[in-house]
Amino acid sequence: MTTQTAQTTTHLPQTIEPRNPGMDLDLSWVRSVQANTSAIERRAKTLPGRRSVKKDYQAAWLLRAIQCIDLTTLSGDDTSERVRRLCAKARTPLRADIAEALGVSGIQTGAICVYHDMIETAVDALAGSGIPVAAVSTGFPAGLSPFHLRIAEIEESVKAGAAEIDIVISRRHVLSGDWQALYDEMRAFRASCGDAHVKAILATGELGTLRNVARASLICMMAGADFIKTSTGKESVNATLPVSLVMIRAIRDYHERTGYRVGYKPAGGISKAKDALVYLALMKDELGDRWLQPDLFRFGASSLLNDIERQLEHHVTGAYSAGYRHALA
């Protein structure tokens, strides 16, 4: 149906957002944080029914979802070739005919997310694309290696060319209520990142309660996180809507109080185009349009892209698509 002739390049505007410098630990703020689980669950449950995006709008939203994907491979059997393949997919996430039919070009994913050892391969493979390489770090996924090694890992990764570092917090600090230790740890991670942006992975599935999620979110932001991220993808429960609601409300409060915008990255378990639309609607409604840009919003996902491609092909042709019609990552 779509045969726009005007091909527009849709590189996102390079937004200049001042980095969150963090602030002193404000324990009274942390302790005043509340998260009513049942109310949050109800809101999360009704959200998909409250928002609906159709037709061209939906296609546009799905393209935005692609632009916000941290295309990820975090497996023990990753090889350089595997990572190169992923990078190629990040550069060209959409089949050419689909992109053409949609009248867009230059659609790329938000970043590539790999382990430290794959950084250099990825940086090479992405040369000239402008796509940043994110590295998981600090003893990912458990975060239980010696502290100095976790710091060293960040430094090595930055040196290797990672523009973004996804650190894991020490869940034990949250579970034991040692907020000062959590703050200090995050501060140290942030400092080691230098100019690289730091995403704080809370591993929300291991924090026990939504209240803990809210408090940990706030502390990581106070300690200078550029992004807060739900999960490593390795916990048994990863990104969920209730957890997302809690984290983005924390982001909103932090912005209201300090004026700094912190990004949000749900990771793990988001594999359907429909879910991506719900997340985008959640960001739009709770935080506003500014948070719909990849400098403030990312999906940590690997299989989501394929489903989006299928939906976009359906949008273009009117016929439902099959997975194999789209290139592997």
Identify which of residues 211 and 314 has a Cβ nearer to another protein in the complex. Answer: 211
> What's the min distance (Å) between Cβ of 223 and another protein?
22
Q: Which two tokens stand for residue 132?
A: 């940043």
Give the range of 43-51, 90-98, 160-168, 268-276 binding another protein by CB under 8 A: 43-51
CA-based torsion, 135, 138, 144, 149: positive or negative: positive
Give the range of 15-23, 50-58, 123-131, 262-270 binding another protein by CB under 8 A: 50-58
Q: Confirm whether 234 is a catalytic residue.
A: no
DSSP string of 200-216?
Answer: EE--GGGS-SHHHHHHH
Contact call for residue 39 and another protein (CB under 8 A) = yes
Contact call for residue 49 and another protein (CB under 8 A) = yes
Cα three-residue angle 278-280-283, rounded to 5 degrees = 110
Pick one of 97, 180, 285, 325: the residue that binds another protein (CB under 8 A).
285
Does the bond joining 141 to the residue before it have cis omega, within 30 degrees of 0?
Answer: yes
Q: Which of 62, 48, 146 has the alpha carbon at shortest distance from 315?
A: 62
Q: Give the separation between CA 276 and CA 300, rounded to whole angstroms.
A: 11
Identify which of residues 83 and 247 has a Cβ nearer to another protein in the complex. Answer: 247
Pick one of 211, 234, 272, 314: the residue that binds another protein (CB under 8 A).
211
Contact call for residue 6 and another protein (CB under 8 A) = yes
> What's the min distance (Å) between Cβ of 127 and another protein?
26
Contact call for residue 35 and another protein (CB under 8 A) = yes
Q: Which of 169, 226, 174 has the alpha carbon at shortest distance from 203?
A: 169
Contact call for residue 218 and another protein (CB under 8 A) = no
Whole-angstrom CA distances from 119 to 86, 114, 134, 246 are: 12, 7, 8, 32
Q: Which two tokens stand for residue 72?
A: 């990820």
Q: Give the separation between CA 246 and CA 225, rounded to whole angstroms.
A: 16
Give the range of 32-40, 115-123, 127-135, 195-203 binding another protein by CB under 8 A: 32-40
Whole-angstrom CA distances from 158 to 79, 193, 306 are: 20, 7, 30
Identify the active-site residue in 70, 265, 275, 307: 265
Contact call for residue 318 and another protein (CB under 8 A) = no
Q: Confirm whether 275 is a catalytic residue.
A: no
With residues binned 3-state (H G I as helix, E B as strand, rest as coil), the percentages for the chain, rounded to 5, are 50, 10, 40
The residue type of 248 is: I
Contacts of 40 (CB under 8 A, 6+ apart): 210, 242, 245, 246
Q: Confirm whether 265 is a catalytic residue.
A: yes
Identify which of residues 118 and 292 has a Cβ nearer to another protein in the complex. Answer: 292
Identify which of residues 42 and 159 has a Cβ nearer to another protein in the complex. Answer: 42
Identify the active-site residue in 229, 275, 295, 307: 229
Which positions from 59 to 78 touch another protein by CB under 8 A, shown as an x/- string?
Answer: xxx-xx--------------
Give the range of 53-61, 153-161, 184-192, 222-230 binding another protein by CB under 8 A: 53-61
Q: Give the separation between CA 16 and CA 20, rounded to whole angstroms.
A: 12
- Where does this chain bind another protein (CB under 8 A)? 2, 4, 6, 8, 10, 34-43, 46, 49-57, 59-61, 63-64, 102-104, 209-211, 249, 256, 280-281, 284-285, 289, 292
